[in-house]
Structure 1
Amino acid sequence: MFSALLCFIPREVTAADSERREDSASTPLLQLALEAELSGDNVKRQEYLAARLRATPDDPATRWHAGCVRVGDEWLQVQIAEDQVAQKGLVFEYRKLRDQYAGTVNGQVALARWCRKNKLEEHELLHWAAVLSFDPTNRDARSRLGIREYRGMLLTKTQLDEHKKSQKEYEAALSRWKPQLRRWRKAMEGADAKEREKAVAELRLIEDVTALPALDEVFSDADEELLLEVVGVAGAINEQLGADLLLKYAVAAESAAVRDAAASELGKRSLYGFVPALLANM
């Protein structure tokens, strides 16, 4: 039932949904869904697919994995799409073959090839996606879906381009912010009280979400007092990267005070901003 509902996630997304698209440093949600399916955890698979569809509702690979096919401008549940295919006189044979070959990688390959031969492109791609769920290394499935492996991730060309663009932006932000953050940390750890107060005040003015990865890197081994300042900055930035950084400190910080402060900041946010990531790491 839940899988069928995934097909009806709307194409329109809010600005907040767009901002929750995967961070370049994290594992893509589609990859997590595939891993969950391989491990037999269908609940997590559905959660990851739903989150991915909210962020990128027109991504074909995600729709195929959710059991949807495109008919015209719409994504439909397979059953509904099959009813439309029936008008072409193919549905009976397709259903017979589907029942015959269900549950095996070779069967999914055979179904995909049959669909291609009969010009049922969306059904073909759906079965190639099923092939990948059995065997992520299958060359034919990767080729037909336009998927390639990049640093251990399976991505379409569009996803790969987005990932590389995000990585460049991430590296540019590190280069831009790290020198300034290092100066502030040096002043905050120095003996000059005025310089220390000035650095703390300037740090607290950070509102740019792209500063957070550099902030985490520069202050990762700082003492409790400085890490509490980092938590304060992350808490003031109402973006997904802010929630991710707070979650990291709430779970992994050595200082109980830092963990408590990060957890307190997370408590002010929507559960959807950090619970999926928390579950993925359990």
Structure 2
Amino acid sequence: MRSEGAILAARNVSKRFGGLYAVCDVSLDVRPGEVVCLLGDNGAGKSTLIKMLTGVTTPTSGELVVDGKPTVFSSPREARDAGIAAVQQFGGTVPLMSVSRNFFLGAELTRGWGPFKRMDLDQAGRIAVQHLAEMGLTRLTDANRLVGSLSGGERQALAIARAMYFGARVLILDEPTAALGVKEATTVLRLVKRTAERGIGVVLVTHNATHAIHVGDRFVVLIHGAVAADFRRGERSRNELINLMAGGEELEHLEAALL
């Protein structure tokens, strides 16, 4: 796989736990404005791969490349500093905190000094509402609203807007539509497109082929921790994609390659 022009690339990465491979010889690259759908059934290795991409764990072999340079992330903070951000289901938000406090959680805007130093809630609120509006959530105007009162799609939008504000260049979305209804899932898929249109590279981790087909530019299918298929939009049908994710016609060839 060629990684020229990619913000983030994995080159032949593997992760072994004891004698078992969770991920085996996987290559993947993410370019600006591109949506890469990472697909596979439960246990396919998706979670382990994104943990390597975001610094949660390091590869047993292979390497990560950021802006063309081999890179080792020793922590998620190092990955975030390089512009690689992950958003989990519901965005890792705190339900009993306000929109503004969630937006700046861990990086609070402050005013004053010494014993008079406090969070600048007014400025934080203005910034949060502005960036949410840019993501299409124009009806969310009260930054003091508790995040627990937001819909699943709105919480995802908050997490995405927050990541982009803090400099994300690659956004990894881990099953963002898994617990959502049809309307909310549509909202999130629209957010994915909007994010890519702003030049952010997106990795959409999902087991929902229909959602992937709607937004994906490239599709990487994992089976038993290895790449079963890597193709661009239009090169495979939805039924072929579902067949691959279920094991399908390439499973026999994959298993033979791993022996």
Q: Which has the higher strand share?
A: 2
TM class, shorter-length = under 0.3
TM-score, normalised by the number of residues in structure 1:
0.26
TM-score, normalised by the number of residues in structure 2:
0.28
Query: Which structure is higher in RCO with an 8 Å CA cutoff and minimum separation 6?
Result: 2
Q: Which has the higher helix share?
A: 1
